[in-house]
C-alpha cells in the first residue's frame, strides 16, 4: 500500500493504516522528541502527544510537503510547546537506555551514548538550538521561528552549546580514561 493510500485510510479511522504509519515513522518522531525532552519519561508523553496531534490534523495534510517532513514538524512543535509549558525542569541524571538505539549503520554506540548524555545535560535554551541545528538540520531562521528567538540569538546559543558539549565530552573522556574505560575518540 502506498503512503498516500495509508494516509487516506488513516484519515478514515483505519487503525491498521495508522499503525503502519506509526511503525514507519515512530523511531524518527521519538528520536526528535526524546532529544528535545532530555529524558525518557517526558519523551514518551511528548511522542504520544505528537502522534495524537498529527492524527487529529491528518485531514489537513494536503501533500504539499512530504508526509515525513510534515510529521516531523508537528513532533518538533509539539515537543517544544510541551517543554515551554513545563514549569520546572527535572534533574537530568537519567542514563540513556541501551535498548533505545535503532541499529546504527555506522559509528560508535559508546560515542552516541556520550553525545546523548551530554546533550541531556545542556541548559534548556542551548540544547534546543543544538538539537534543531546540528542534529535535525534546521536553519537559524527556522529555529528562530520555532523557538521564538532571533536568528542571531540562535547562533549565539549554538556556539555556546557546541563549546559546552566539547567541554563535557572532554571531561567525560578524562574520567573514563582514569577508570580504564575506552576513551571517546573525537
Partner 1 sequence: MEHLTAEALARLVDEAPTHEERNHLDSCLSCQEELGALKAQTEALGALPDLRPPRGDWEELEARLISEGLVRGDDGSGRSILPSGVGWMQVAAGLVLLLGGAAIGSSLTRSAGHPSNAVSADLGRTPELVALPAMQVGNVEDAEEAVRIAEQNYVDALIQYRQMAQSSGRFTLMDDPASRYAALDALVRAGQAAVRQVPADPFLNGFLASAVAEQEAVLRRISNTAEDNWY
The answer to whether 57 touches 50, Cβ cutoff 8 Å, is: no
Whichever of 98 and 179 has its CB closer to partner 1, that residue is 98
Which residues have a Cβ under 8 Å from the Cβ of 99 and sit 6 or more positions away?
none
Whichever of 107 and 180 has its CB closer to partner 1, that residue is 107
Query: Within 13 Å of residue 84, how many CA atoms lie on the same side as its CB?
Result: 9
Under the criterion CB under 8 A, does residue 151 sit at the interface with partner 1?
A: no
From 87-95, 97-105, 141-149, 175-183, give the range in contact with partner 1 by CB under 8 A: 97-105
Shortest gap between Cβ of 102 and partner 1 (angstroms)?
A: 5
**Of 14, 31, 69, 25, nearest to 51 (Cα)?**
25
Q: What x/- string results for residues 20 through 49 when contact with partner 1 is judged by CB under 8 A?
A: --x---xxxxxx--xx----x---xx-xxx
Whichever of 9 and 124 has its CB closer to partner 1, that residue is 9
The answer to whether 184 touches 171, Cβ cutoff 8 Å, is: no
Under the criterion CB under 8 A, does residue 107 sit at the interface with partner 1?
A: yes
Amino acid at each position: 500500500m502506498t503512503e498516500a493510500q495509508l494516509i487516506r485510510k488513516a484519515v478514515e479511522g483505519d487503525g491498521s493504516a495508522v499503525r503502519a504509519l506509526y511503525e514507519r515513522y515512530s523511531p524518527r518522531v521519538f528520536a526528535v522528541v526524546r532529544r528535545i525532552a532530555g529524558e525518557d519519561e517526558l519523551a514518551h508523553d511528548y511522542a504520544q502527544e505528537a502522534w495524537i496531534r498529527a492524527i487529529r490534523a491528518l485531514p489537513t495534510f494536503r501533500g504539499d510537503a512530504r508526509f515525513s517532513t510534515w510529521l516531523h514538524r508537528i513532533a518538533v512543535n509539539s515537543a517544544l510547546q510541551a517543554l515551554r509549558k513545563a514549569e520546572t525542569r527535572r534533574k537530568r541524571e537519567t542514563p540513556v537506555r541501551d535498548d533505545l538505539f535503532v541499529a546504527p549503520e555506522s559509528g560508535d554506540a559508546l560515542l552516541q551514548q556520550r553525545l546523548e548524555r551530554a546533550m541531556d545535560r545542556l541548559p534548556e535554551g542551548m540544547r534546543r538550538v543544538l538539537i534543531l541545528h546540528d542534529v535535525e538540520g534546521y536553519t537559524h531562521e527556522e529555529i528562530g521561528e520555532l523557538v521564538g528567538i532571533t536568528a542571531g540569538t540562535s547562533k549565539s546559543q549554538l556556539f555556546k552549546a557546541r563549546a559546552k558539549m566539547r567541554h563535557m565530552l572532554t571531561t567525560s573522556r578524562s574520567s573514563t580514561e582514569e577508570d580504564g574505560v575506552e576513551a571517546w575518540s573525537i
